[in-house]
Amino acid sequence: MEGHPLALHDVMFIPALVAQASDEQNKKWLRRAQRREIVGCYAQTELGHGSNLRKLETTATYDVSTQEFVLHTPQITSLKWWPGGLGKSSNYAVVVANMIVKEKHLGPHSFLVQLRDEITHQSLKGITVGDIGPKLSFNAIDNGFLGFDNYRIPRTNLLMRHSRVEPDGTYVKPPHAKINYSAMVRVRSHMATGQGNFLAQALTIAVRYSTVRRQGFIESGEQEVKVLDYQTQQHRLFPSIAKAYAFTFAGYETIRLYEQLLKEVDTGNVSLMADLHALTSGLKSVVTHQTAQGIEQARMACGGHGYSQASYISEIFGVAVGGCTYEGENMVMLLQLARYLVKSVEQIKAGESGKLGPLVAYLAVKVDGVDLEKGVEEYMKAFQHVSRLQTWKASEKFLKLLKSGEKREVAWNKSSVELTRASRLHTRLYIAETFKRSVQEVADPRLKEVLTDLLHLHVNYELLDMATYALEDGFLSSSQLDYVRDQLYFYLAKIRPNAVSLVDSWEFSDMQLRSVLGRRDGNVYENLVAWAKASPLNKTDVLPSVEKYLKPMMNSKL
C-alpha cells in the first residue's frame, strides 16, 4: 500500500516506451525494461511547473554537429521534482523536456535518458539526482529530483514513434500535438478502477468492523446493536459501496477506450484522443475526490479505533488522496473537460448538433420533466437535465464575457468555478450511465438484483446531492425530492443484509488490508490489545525519558 519503488517502472516508464518509442527503438529498450535489466521512471514535473506543461524549463537542444541532444537544467525551478522511483531506484528515465531544434522551441517531447551506471548504479557525470524527502504517504516510493548539466544523449534517444528529428535537424511533426501526453492519459484511464479499489479496501474494513462493534440501542431492553444497524452508519457507508462498484465499471470502460485509442493511433487515426482526454480528465477528478471523501467517512465510521493506525484506513487515505494531485491537479483537469463542454455548446449554437460525440449529444436535447417513479431511466434524464443546465449556464457566462470584450483567458478564469461544476455534473452523469449499463448486462439474476439495489441507492443519493441544480429551474418539485429521500432510506435498509457480502466479494485478504479492525475473522478486540502491546513504547515498562525528563521535573522544587 505504501507504494513500491518500481511502481512507476510498470505504470509509466514501460507504457511510455510502448506508446512513444518507435519499433526500432523498442527492439533495443523494451525487452530490457520488461526483464527489469534496466529500471525506469517518468520524469516530467519540475520544481516550478507541473500543471502547465508548455512552461517546462528543462531543455533538450539538438546539436547537429554531433547528432546529440544536450539536456540542461537552466535554473533551480527547472529541476525535475516528484517523479516516482527517480530518487534512488531508477537508472533510466523517460524525461520530458522542451525540445529546441535550429533555435526553434518545439514544446515538450520525451527522451530516454540514462541516469546511473548500469553496473555501479552511481549517478553519471552531468546528472544530479536524489530523493525529495518524506511525503504524506507513498513513503516506500523514492520520489526524486533531477538536474542536468549540459548532459548529452544521442539523437536516437528522442522517442520517435510519432515525431522525429532527422540527423540534419529536420523535424517531422506528430499527427496530433498532444500525442506525447499518452502516458498520462493511460494512467488517468486506469485511475477509476485503481481508486475504486482503494475505496473498496476502506469500506471492507469499516463495514466488517461495524458488524463487530456494538454500541447503544435502537429499541430499548435488547442487546446493544451492531453499529451497522444505525441508519446514519448505513448512510455513511453504503452510498460509497455503490460508488466503488460504479467507479470500477466506469474504469473498465475507459481502459477499453484507451486500448482502442492505442490501436487507432498506430493506424494514424487520432480522432478518439480529444474525447478520451476530456472523459478521463473529468473522471479522474471526480473519482479521486469522491474516493477521498468516502475513505475519510469510512475512517470516521470506525469511531476512535478508526483514528488508530491499527485501522490502516489513514494509510489508504494518504495513498488514495494523492490521486487528486498526480496525473493532473483536479481543478486543472476539470477545466480541460470544461473546454470540451463549452466547445460542444458552441457547436449546438452554430446548428451543428449532429456533429456532437455520443457523450455530449444530450446537451442539445431538452427534457421538460421526469416521472421518477417510472425508474432509473427517468433518473438518467434528470442527471442529463442538471448537467445540461449547468453546462449551458457556465458556457453562456463565459461566452457573454468574451462578447463583452474580455480577453479569452480572463473570461475563462471568471467563469471557472461554474465551469468546474458543469464538468463534475457531466462526469457524474457518465458514472451513473455506465453503472446502469453494466448492471443491465449482468447475467446472474441474484447478482443482478443486489447490484440493481446498489444502482438505485446510487441514483437516489446522487440526485439528492445535486438537488440545488434540479430545484433551481423548477425541474424537480419538493415532493419529488421527498420521494427521492424515501427511496434512499428504503434502499439503505434493503442493502443492509447484503452489506458484508458486498464488501467480501472484493476478496481482499487480511494481508492486503493490514487492518486489525477489518479482519475477516472479526476478532477485533483481542487483536487490538495484542497490536497495542507490540507498540515500540511498550518494549520496556519504564522509558529512559522518565529518568531524563520526568524525574527532574517531578523532583523540582520550583
Ligand X SMILES: CCCCCCCCCCCCCCCCC/C=C/C(=O)SCCNC(=O)CCNC(=O)[C@H](O)C(C)(C)COP(=O)(O)OP(=O)(O)OC[C@H]1O[C@@H](n2cnc3c(N)ncnc32)[C@H](O)[C@@H]1OP(=O)(O)O
Ligand Y SMILES: Cc1cc2nc3c(=O)[nH]c(=O)nc-3n(C[C@H](O)[C@H](O)[C@H](O)COP(=O)(O)OP(=O)(O)OC[C@H]3O[C@@H](n4cnc5c(N)ncnc54)[C@H](O)[C@@H]3O)c2cc1C
Which residue, 90 or 434, is less far from ligand Y as judged by CB? 90
* CA gap 461, 469 in Å, rounded: 14
CA-to-CA separations, 128 to 82, 100, 149, 256, in angstroms, rounded: 14, 22, 8, 39
Cell of 325: 494531485
Q: Is 11 in the site for ligand X (CB under 6 A)?
A: yes
* CA gap 343, 62 in Å, rounded: 37
Given 17, 113, 316, 335, the residue binding ligand Y (CB under 6 A): 335
Cell of 293: 471523501
Choice among 57, 315, 327, 433 that is catalytic: 327
- Window 303-332: contact mask with ligand Y (x via CB under 6 A): -------------------x--xx-xx-xx
Cell of 381: 434524464
Given 6, 8, 455, 484, the residue binding ligand Y (CB under 6 A): 8
375 is in an annotated binding site: no
Q: Is 413 in the site for ligand X (CB under 6 A)?
A: no
Q: Is 463 in the site for ligand X (CB under 6 A)?
A: no
What residue is closest to ligand X based on CB?
194
* CA gap 355, 371 in Å, rounded: 30
Exposure string (b/e) for 185-194, b if CB count within 10 Å is 16 or more?
bbbbbbbbbb
Rounded (10°) CA dihedral 142, 147, 150, 155: 40
Using the contact rule CB under 6 A, the part of the chain among 41-49, 291-299, 367-375, 541-549 near ligand Y is: 41-49
Q: Is 144 in the site for ligand Y (CB under 6 A)?
A: no
- Window 37-76: contact mask with ligand X (x via CB under 6 A): -----x-xx----xxxxx----------------------
Tell me how far, at minimum, the Cβ of 155 lies from ligand Y, in Å.
23
* CA gap 197, 116 in Å, rounded: 35
84 is in an annotated binding site: yes
Q: Is 45 in the site for ligand Y (CB under 6 A)?
A: yes
- Window 65-84: contact mask with ligand Y (x via CB under 6 A): -----------------xxx
Nearest C-alpha neighbor of 334 from the set 324, 348, 349 = 324
Query: Is 327 among the residues known to form the active site?
Result: yes
Q: Which does 390 bind (CB under 5 to 8 A by kind): ligand Y, ligand X, none?
A: none
Nearest C-alpha neighbor of 248 from the set 450, 424, 431 = 431
272 φ/ψ angles, rounded to the nearest 5 degrees: -80, -15
Query: Residue 543's CB: how many other CB atoms inside 10 A?
Result: 13
Which residue, 138 or 317, is less far from ligand Y as judged by CB? 138
Cβ neighbours for 50, distance < 8 A, ≥ 6 positions apart: 44, 82, 329
Q: Is 111 in the site for ligand X (CB under 6 A)?
A: no
* CA gap 91, 84 in Å, rounded: 13
Nearest C-alpha neighbor of 65 from the set 155, 196, 179, 163 = 155
Given 21, 25, 38, 42, the residue binding ligand Y (CB under 6 A): 42
Residues forming the annotated binding site for FAD?
Answer: 45, 84
Residues that bind ligand Y (CB under 6 A): 8, 42-45, 49-51, 82-84, 138, 143, 322, 325-326, 328-329, 331-332, 335
Q: Which residues are catalytic?
A: 327
Residues forming the annotated binding site?
Answer: 45, 84
Residues that bind ligand X (CB under 6 A): 7, 11, 42, 44-45, 50-54, 84, 178, 181, 184-185, 187, 190-191, 194, 273-274, 277, 326-328, 332, 336, 339
